[in-house]
Amino acid sequence: MSSLVVVKNPKDWPIHVAGVEVVSAGAYLTEARYAGLPNAKVYNLCRSYSYQSAGYYVSLLAAARGHKPLPDVSTLQNMRSAPIVRLMSEEIEELIQKHLKDIQAKEFVMSIYFGHNLAKRYDYLAWKLYNLFQAPFLRAHFVFKKEWELRRIMPIPASEIPQDHLPFVIQEARKYFARKDAGSSRKVRYSYELAILRDPAEKTPPSNKRALERFVSAAEYVGMRPEIITREDYGRIAEFDALFIRATTQVHHYTYQFARRAEAEGLAVIDDPESIIRCTNKVFLAEALKRHGVSIPETLILHRDQLESLCSRVSLPCVLKLPDSAYSIGVVKAETPEALRAAAERFFEKSELIVVQRYMPTAFDWRIGVLDDKPLYACRYHMALRHWQIVKQASTGKLLAGKVEPVPLKRVPAAVIETALAATRAVGHGLYGVDLKEAETGVVVIEVNDNASIDAGYEDTYLKLSIYRKIMKSLLRRVELIKDGRYPS
C-alpha cells in the first residue's frame, strides 16, 4: 500500500521517510496519477480542514478513490462539533481527571503526534485521544471548572508544529512509518494491511500462539501484511484493510466495538458484528434455527413471567442456558424441580429471557468448522472427565476441557456436515464452529459459534497450513470485493 503525506506545500513537511511520498494538496486533487493510484494511505496534513477547503477535499476524495484518509471526513466533522467532542470524551473521563489532576492552571493544551505526547506522563492519555479522534497530529484544549473538560480538539497542520517539537515529531514519524514496514522477513510489497486482534491476557483464546504465527505466515503468503494488535489499538483500525478477530467475542465487549468500527471504516471483518450478535445470543440462535428448519434439541424460550409454571412445562433432567453463556459458563443441568427453579431464578436476575433445552447425554460433540458456507474442519470434542459438558469449571475457576479428536472431513457422517451447513446459513456467511450431537432421532445443533477455535495441533491436524491459508484467502477476497464496490454477502 502506498503512503502519501499530503500538505499545502511540501516544504511544510521537514521529515524524509523512505517509502513515503510527500505531495502537495493541489497535485493530489488534480493529477490523474493520484486519482488512479490503488490502495493508498493518505496522511492529510493540510493547513485548513474547514468545509470545502483543500484539506477537506483531500480527505473526501481520498475516500471516493478507495484510499484510506487520515483523518477522514467523519472525524473532521466530529471534531467540529463541541457536543460530539464532549460525548466522545466521556469514554475517557476518568483518565482525563487522573492525568491532569496536578495541573494548577485553568487551561491546558496537549499536542499529540502519531498518538504520542512529548511528556511521558501524558502519553497514555494522548494515545486514548488519538484512538477517539484519529489524525496524525492533534491539538487538544482542556479547561478546568469543577473538573477538567475537553473543550475542543483539532488536527494540527504540518506548518503549525512548533520548532522545539520537531525533533520529537521526526522521531515519532519515523517510528510510525518504520512499524509499517516491520513484522516480516520477506521483502515483498503487500497489497493490503491486515489487523489480527488478540488478547494477550486471555487464558483460553480461540487460537494458540503457534496458530497465530501460522495465520501471520498465511496472510503474507496471500499478499497481505499482517500485524497483531490489541485493544489498545482501537484508534488505528482505519489504517488497515481487514480485521481478523482472535479474541473471544461478546456483544458488551471491546471485540464487538472493534468489529463495528472496522465494518464502518470499510474493512473486511471476521468475525463481523452481525455474526457476533447472532451467535453469542442463544435466544436468537434457537429462534433462527427453528425458523430455518434446522434440528435442535427440544427447546423452550421462557420469560420471567413464566417462572411459576416452569416445572409443569419442562421435562427433567434439562439444561438451562443464559442467552450469552460461553465456555459452558452460564449453562447448568437441573435434575429436580427445586434445582430447576433455583437456577431459573438466578438466570432471570440477569436476563428477561432464558433458554431451556432437553438434556441429551453423549460421549462427545461434533465441531464442524465452516467457512464461506463450506466445511473446513471437523473434530470430536469429548466431555470433560466425569462431567456432562466438554468444558468444566473447577472450584479454582480454571477451565478443564475434554479430549479434542480431529477427524478428516471425509469420515464425518453426511448428516452432520449437512446439518452444520444449514445452521450457518441461518446465521451468516463467515467463519463458524458448529457444535452438534448425534441422537437416536437424528443430528441436532447445540450451538453456532462465531469465534471458531483454530488451534495448532488440533483443528489444523489434517489441513495443516492449508487451513490458515483458506481463511486468509477468504479475507483477501472480501477485501477485493469491498475495494471493487461489491460488498460480500
Residues in the chain: 489
Does the residue 458 lie in any domain? no
The two most distant CA atoms of the chain are separated, in Å, by 80
Do the Cβ atoms of 424 and 416 come closer than 8 Å? Answer: no
Phi and psi torsions of 282, nearest 5°? -70, -20
Q: Is residue 284 part of a domain?
A: no
Residue 246 lies in a domain: yes
Contact assessment for residue 433 and residue 368, using Cβ atoms and an 8 Å cutoff: yes
What is the rounded CA–CA span in Å between residue 410 and residue 78? Answer: 54
Runs of H (alpha helix) within 10-100 = 25-30, 32-35, 54-64, 73-80, 82-89, 93-100
Measured between alpha carbons, how far apart are the two ends of the chain, in Å? 25
Is the pTM here over 0.75, yes or no?
A: yes
CA gap 299, 288 in Å, rounded: 12
Domain with 419 in it: what CATH number? 3.30.470.20
CATH number of the domain encompassing residue 347: 3.30.1490.20
* Residue ranges making up the domain that contains 138: 3-179
> Domain check: are 154 and 70 in the same one?
yes
Buried b (16+ CB within 10 A) or exposed e, 115-145: bbbbeeebebbbbbbbbbbbbbbbbbebeee
Q: Are strands 404-407 and 374-382 parallel, antiparallel or unpaired?
A: antiparallel
SS3 (DSSP) at 408:
coil
User: Domain total for the chain?
Assistant: 4
Domain boundary among 144, 179, 214: 179
- Does one domain contain both 129 and 262? no
In a domain, 455, yes or no: no
Q: Tell me if 282 is assigned to some domain.
A: no
> Which of 146, 179, 212 is the endpoint of a domain?
179
Contact present, 436 and 443 (Cβ < 8 Å): yes
Give the other-Cβ count within 10 Å of 1's Cβ: 20
Cα distance between residue 351 and residue 86, in whole Å: 32
The cell numbers describing 346, all together, are 438466578
Query: What is the predicted pLDDT for the residue at 185?
Result: 44
3-state secondary structure of 353: strand
* Nine-digit cell string for 102: 496536578
Q: Do 366 and 409 form a contact (C-beta atoms < 8 A)?
A: no
pLDDT in tens, the chain (489 residues): 688 999 988 887 877 887 889 999 999 999 999 988 887 889 999 888 888 888 899 999 998 888 889 898 888 988 988 888 988 888 899 999 999 999 999 999 999 999 999 999 999 999 999 988 989 999 999 999 999 999 999 998 888 889 999 999 999 988 888 766 554 444 556 789 999 999 999 988 999 999 999 999 999 999 999 999 999 888 888 889 999 999 999 988 999 999 998 998 889 999 999 999 999 888 899 999 999 999 999 998 888 888 888 888 888 899 998 888 766 667 899 999 999 999 999 989 888 888 899 999 999 999 999 999 999 999 999 998 888 888 887 777 777 888 999 999 999 999 999 999 999 999 999 999 999 999 888 999 999 999 999 999 999 999 999 999 999 999 999 999 988 777 665
Residue 457 counted as domain residue? no
Look at residues 307, 326, 359 and tell me which one is the last residue of a structural domain. Answer: 359
Could you give the residue ranges of the DSSP H alpha helices within 434-464?
A: none
Do 14 and 153 reside in the same domain of the chain? yes
183-187: list long-range contacts, CB under 8 Å, 24+ apart. 183/216, 183/225, 183/226, 183/227, 184/220, 184/225, 184/226, 186/220
Task: Looking at the structure, tell me whether residues 350 and 244 fall in a common domain.
Answer: no
Domain-located, residue 382: yes
Q: Give how far Cα 297 sits from Cα of 262, 323, 330, 356, Å.
A: 36, 16, 18, 10
In the numeric block, the cell 479428536 is attached to 405
Secondary structure element (H or E) that encloses residue 326, with its range = strand 318-326
Whether residue 363 contacts residue 382, with contact meaning beta carbons closer than 8 Å, is answered with yes
Provide the pLDDT for residue 21. Answer: 92
- For 371, the 3-state DSSP assignment is strand
Instruction: Answer yes or no: is 265 within a domain.
Output: yes
3-state secondary structure at position 95:
helix
Tell me what pLDDT residue 327 has: 61
**CATH at 228:** 3.40.50.20
Is the domain of 306 the same as that of 411?
Answer: no
305 and 336, same domain (yes or no)? yes
- Rounded Cα distance between 283 and 347, Å, is 13
Same domain, 13 and 125: yes
Same domain, 30 and 7: yes
Round to whole Å and give the CA distance between 243 and 227. 10
| Cell output for 286 | 434457537
Residue 22: HSE in the Cβ half-sphere, 13 Å Cα cutoff: 15
352 and 369 share a domain? no
Q: Are residues 201 and 153 in the same domain?
A: no
For residues 62 and 142, membership in a common domain is answered with yes
Indicate whether 65 and 89 sit together in one domain. Answer: yes
**Dist CA 159 CA 161 (whole Å):** 6
